[in-house]
Amino acid sequence: MVVVNEPLEKAKKGLQFEDVSQSRVDAWVEPKFDPRFGLGGQDCRLQLKHHVVESNLIEIKGNESPFDIFRVYIDVGARLVLPGDKTEERPIAQIEASYRVDYRITETSLIEDKAALDTFALENASYHLWPYWREFVMSQSLRMNLPKIALPVRMLKS
């Protein structure tokens, strides 16, 4: 039996993906670690971070007719750690970013439906962000001379 999440389905029908943009980026390699030569055959472990921070309704007024945007803020990260027990893990590199994912509200009744918007922000917005984040992690890891970090094609549910 398939359980239908009615608030989520309502939001999916009333929101149209509009845009995704980075608002903050932070990337570093531990100063004493040389990514080209420092691994010496050791395997690194990848740790991921994903956090839906907040969401807002924004009314856009301009030359055209006004419209509403639903904006979701999401923080994501990937870091490489050298193996060890939990207390001795050593992060050697990290890539983090904050994103804004915008949706045009096509069904105005959604503006008053906090449950539908919250559910969408928590359960669906990250799927639209994932391809952008995946590409950024791959290109940034190569620019940093790190082992190629290839995130899965599809976001894994946590």
The 3 state secondary structure assigned to 118-153 is HHHHHHCHHHHHHHHHHHHHHHHHHHCCCCCCCCCC
Name the superfamily (CATH) of residues 6-143.
SecB-like (3.10.420.10)
Domain boundaries, the chain: 6-143
pTM, two decimals, is 0.88
pLDDT in tens, 48-99: 999 999 999 999 887 778 899 999 999 999 999 987 766 778 889 999 999 9
pLDDT in tens, 140-156: 999 999 888 888 876 65
